[in-house]
A and B are shown apart, each in its own frame.
Chain A
């Protein structure tokens, strides 16, 4: 059975809602494609599903290359174990995260390992995106600036850059997003 290819730098340990198809068998099996959000129609059922693992993966990955098509929850290793070993690898290879900004035509990537502190990375982002962030304070966030740096943490929450210690930030940051201050109301600043 063909094994999926995995790009380690892009290893996404969250659910990707991909799954392997059931083993192709001689009897047609009544089955809906579970990954699909479409209604399950009788026509789909009667043709049965002979798709093998590969086509299931490709089906869900129409846009990009068929990358690391992992099965959700397999192998059955708990996330804190995976993260632990994963961290070691990332330490060896650079810690690239995507940076997006509303209105920008394309995303950028920066290597968090290159920076040792918040001021350094914020300056780099300001240069890269030609914007300013203003002064950070714990109480008010980035006061008086047009843009605010935010990041997605391991739990999928969007956080304000700067609240947690730097090392914790580099470990838990999955990607960055520069938002307009007017969008930032939910984060408590302004």
Chain B
């Protein structure tokens, strides 16, 4: 076999490899033999690093000398919900410094949950002559000054996407730094910015960029300017409005409607802050073309939502607030037979009583009416095992199922039983389920089901669930494809973790907060498993100022070949992997 492999000239193999785009496949072929490893690494163009601390910049650069596109993820997912203290990490500066020297032809940088400074942005702007794509997803640490540097210097920039980042928004002047000669913009997403950008600069910018496909504006762009913007970019495919309200003026309405209709390729709408329902009909003429609609900021009532979605016969993705109510979801089930993804967010997550009539019925309806539904994120206040079983039976093609019953430990409201059977049905019937988030009252039994049936499960989120270590043991011993596990407020402790230590090296990461894992167990795990970083995150002070049996506040374990990281703040301790104890 090896002789056969070597008999192909390298160029041929390289050419064959160039058709293999997915990172996983590339990783697999690099393991076939040493020569394939060598050939592959020289033609690896795109690198995805799911945990920036799993590997060091130098290791990546040494192995892959010709990278053009790099993606990095930093903080654990629960950082989105303020569970990771400020300053924990995810600093991209060392990466930027290293790749600025190593990859002068780098074209794309995509970061998620990382901390990036203006200095790094300026370095990017200066270092990569052919820089094309900058995506900063849920990032922080930078200001609009850094964006100005990117705008001013990146002549070939195609994509600037700031989705959901926290930007120190000093003012909107940065946009004016795109020179008049700059025409290559394809995608611009500034929806997370607070400041007004100069509208005339924006109009001129998009007017001179004929390839613009995606434009997501921020809230500060007034409704009455949208028509002018759209008129300059009739080839637009994805559009995000600003605040969707204005004094009622017929000419504003008709101009907007005309401009939207003029964008024949428009398939995706978002934005819709501060919606004035009278302006919604401006969208009606294009509803039937829409495949994606994000109304998750639109505080409009069920009737208006029903009128809108009933016309969106080709809708594939809908993000909406729970104002849509069960009635609106019934309408969705009838009208949108192509729906693949539904996310229903809570309008009032902290209210004690439900403020809307959104229950399990709505989700059951959609699961019945939409045969292609495979991705669900649903916030509600009541659920039953019967409903979950029905949903699972209706939709065995489900791949992502995230249910959040707002009050922790809520039982089946009909029987007052735990929801073990319901979630059990989900993992049993949905054989391709890759992502699952649990909620409600759950015992160890649900984890037994998950361990037994959740063989394709890659990401699991657990909160306020389980009775004992057995629960965690079921997950770790049963879920063969588990990559990310995040747990909060569950009575899981040392036994299951230590018994399944080897499993942790097969996963990207494990997060446990407010559980029962002791400091002693963390130390032991750190000693036994040199290829794991076992991080104890504890804002109460050094863990060895407390007894070893004391549970740690938060624990983040991830596999790594880079050893303990060097940028930890003073509330993070990485357990040593030799027998020497750290002196604190």
Residues of chain A whose beta carbon lies under 8 Å from any beta carbon of chain B = 1, 3-6, 11, 14-15, 19-20, 22-23, 25, 29-32, 34, 36-37, 39-42, 45, 68, 70-82, 84-85, 88, 155, 165, 168, 171-172
- B546, CB-defined interface residue at 8 Å: yes
- Which of chain B's residues has its CB closest to A88's CB? B299
Known: A75-B346, A75-B349. A23 touches B409 (CB 8 A): yes
- B379, CB-defined interface residue at 8 Å: yes
Whole-angstrom distance between the Cβ of A109 and the nearest chain B Cβ: 21
- B563, CB-defined interface residue at 8 Å: no
Main secondary structure of the interface of A (DSSP, over half): loop
Whole-angstrom distance between the Cβ of B200 and the nearest chain A Cβ: 18
Residues of A within 8 A of B202 (CB): none
- CA A36 – CA B553 in complex, angstroms? 11
- Which of chain B's residues has its CB closest to A19's CB? B514
Complex A-B: 11 CB contacts under 8 Å: A3-B407, A5-B352, A6-B351, A23-B409, A25-B491, A32-B546, A72-B83, A75-B346, A77-B345, A77-B349, A84-B297
Known: A73-B488, A75-B379, A84-B273. A68 touches B164 (CB 8 A): no
In contact, B489 and A22 (Cβ under 8 angstroms):
yes
In contact, A1 and B409 (Cβ under 8 angstroms):
yes
In contact, A45 and B549 (Cβ under 8 angstroms):
yes
Residues of A within 8 A of B195 (CB): 165, 168
- Checking A36, A68, A80 against B350 with a beta-carbon cut-off of 8 angstroms, the contacting residue is A68
Residues of A within 8 A of B488 (CB): 73
In contact, B296 and A81 (Cβ under 8 angstroms):
yes
- CA A4 – CA B493 in complex, angstroms? 28
Whole-angstrom distance between the Cβ of B576 and the nearest chain A Cβ: 22
In contact, B491 and A19 (Cβ under 8 angstroms):
no
In contact, B350 and A6 (Cβ under 8 angstroms):
yes
Interface residues of B in 367-407 (CB under 8 A from A): 379, 404, 406-407
- Checking B164, B347, B409, B493 against A80 with a beta-carbon cut-off of 8 angstroms, the contacting residue is B164
- CA A82 – CA B406 in complex, angstroms? 14
- Which of chain A's residues has its CB closest to B192's CB? A80
Q: Which of B379, B406, B518, B550 has the most CB of A within 10 A?
A: B550
Residues of B within 8 A of A39 (CB): 545-546
Main secondary structure of the interface of B (DSSP, over half): loop
- CA A116 – CA B407 in complex, angstroms? 39
Interface residues of B in 527-584 (CB under 8 A from A): 540-541, 545-547, 549-551, 553
Whole-angstrom distance between the Cβ of B32 and the nearest chain A Cβ: 41
Residues of A within 8 A of B166 (CB): 155
- CA A25 – CA B490 in complex, angstroms? 12
Q: Mark B404-416, 1 if CB is under 8 A from A, else 0.
A: 1011110000000
Residues of B within 8 A of A25 (CB): 467, 491
- Checking A11, A29, A34, A85 against B553 with a beta-carbon cut-off of 8 angstroms, the contacting residue is A34
- B81, CB-defined interface residue at 8 Å: yes
- B348, CB-defined interface residue at 8 Å: yes
In contact, B83 and A42 (Cβ under 8 angstroms):
no
- B82, CB-defined interface residue at 8 Å: yes
- Which of chain B's residues has its CB closest to A37's CB? B540
- B194, CB-defined interface residue at 8 Å: yes
Q: Which of B195, B297, B350 has the most CB of A within 10 A?
A: B350
In contact, B81 and A78 (Cβ under 8 angstroms):
yes
- Checking A23, A40, A73 against B82 with a beta-carbon cut-off of 8 angstroms, the contacting residue is A73
In contact, B164 and A30 (Cβ under 8 angstroms):
no
- CA A30 – CA B493 in complex, angstroms? 10
- CA A11 – CA B352 in complex, angstroms? 13
- CA A82 – CA B350 in complex, angstroms? 10
In contact, B78 and A75 (Cβ under 8 angstroms):
no
Interface residues of B in 436-489 (CB under 8 A from A): 437, 461, 463-464, 467, 488-489
Whole-angstrom distance between the Cβ of B538 and the nearest chain A Cβ: 9
Whole-angstrom distance between the Cβ of B335 and the nearest chain A Cβ: 26
In contact, B81 and A30 (Cβ under 8 angstroms):
no
- Which of chain A's residues has its CB closest to B411's CB? A1
- B180, CB-defined interface residue at 8 Å: no
Whole-angstrom distance between the Cβ of B249 and the nearest chain A Cβ: 22
In contact, B550 and A40 (Cβ under 8 angstroms):
yes
- Which of chain B's residues has its CB closest to A17's CB? B539
Interface residues of B in 328-349 (CB under 8 A from A): 345-349
- CA A1 – CA B409 in complex, angstroms? 9
Whole-angstrom distance between the Cβ of A73 and the nearest chain B Cβ: 3
**Given contacts A19-B489, A84-B297, could you give 18 more A-B pairs where the C-beta distance is less than 8 Å?**
A1-B409, A15-B82, A20-B489, A34-B514, A34-B551, A36-B540, A37-B540, A39-B546, A40-B546, A45-B550, A71-B408, A72-B83, A74-B408, A76-B81, A76-B437, A82-B349, A85-B299, A168-B194
- B366, CB-defined interface residue at 8 Å: no
Whole-angstrom distance between the Cβ of B562 and the nearest chain A Cβ: 28
- Which of chain A's residues has its CB closest to B550's CB? A40
Residues of B within 8 A of A71 (CB): 408, 489
In contact, B349 and A3 (Cβ under 8 angstroms):
no
- B80, CB-defined interface residue at 8 Å: yes
- CA A14 – CA B437 in complex, angstroms? 24
